[in-house]
Every structure is written in structure tokens, then in C-alpha cells.
């Protein structure tokens, strides 16, 4: 009886040892994966920031103002060009 118990305990011990190794291995694998994904996320965030910055630079009020006035000749309507729609 006690022999069976001993064998079972030895098996459990070896099994748990292997499980520990496996858990550690998968932890490293997952950590590598996590690092990779985080880097990817950061890169995307940075790209997003860069695009936002670029958009903001293109949309800079001064530039729009210049373009509107010089390239397509826009201007604010004169007083008597404005039509007031009565409610």
C-alpha cells in the first residue's frame, strides 16, 4: 500500500517539476509575445501621433488662410452681400 503511495508521490513530484518547467517556458514565450505586441502597439501609437501631427501641420490655420485667400481667392463677404434669413 505504502509502495503505491510512494510511487504516486514520486510521479506527482516529477510531474509537477515538469509542469513548473513548462509554466516557466510558456511564461517566457508569452512575455516575448507581450513585448512584441507592446512594441507593435507603441509603434502604431507613434505612427498615429505622427500622422496627427502631420495633419495638424497641414491644417494649420495660417496655411489654410493663405491658401484660401491666394490660391482660390476666397474672402469674407462684404456687409451688403450677406443675406439675413428671417426666422
Instruction: List residues near another protein by CB under 8 A.
Output: 28, 31-32, 34-35, 45-46, 49-50, 52-63, 65, 71-73, 76, 78-84, 86
Taking the least distance from each CB to another protein, the nearer of 22 and 31 is 31
Buried b (16+ CB within 10 A) or exposed e, 31-70: eeeeeeeeeeeeeeeeeeeeeeeeeeeeeeeeeeeeeeee
Closest to another protein by CB, 4 vs 82, is 82
Q: Give the residue with the Cβ less far from another protein, 12 or 39.
A: 39
Amino acid at each position: 500500500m505504502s509502495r503505491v503511495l510512494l510511487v504516486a508521490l514520486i510521479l506527482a513530484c516529477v510531474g509537477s517539476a515538469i509542469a513548473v518547467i513548462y509554466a516557466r517556458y510558456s511564461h517566457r514565450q508569452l512575455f516575448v509575445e507581450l513585448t512584441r505586441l507592446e512594441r507593435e502597439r507603441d509603434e502604431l501609437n507613434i505612427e498615429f501621433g505622427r500622422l496627427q501631427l502631420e495633419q495638424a501641420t497641414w491644417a494649420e490655420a495660417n496655411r489654410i488662410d493663405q491658401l484660401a485667400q491666394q490660391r482660390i481667392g476666397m474672402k469674407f463677404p462684404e456687409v451688403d452681400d450677406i443675406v439675413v434669413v428671417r426666422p
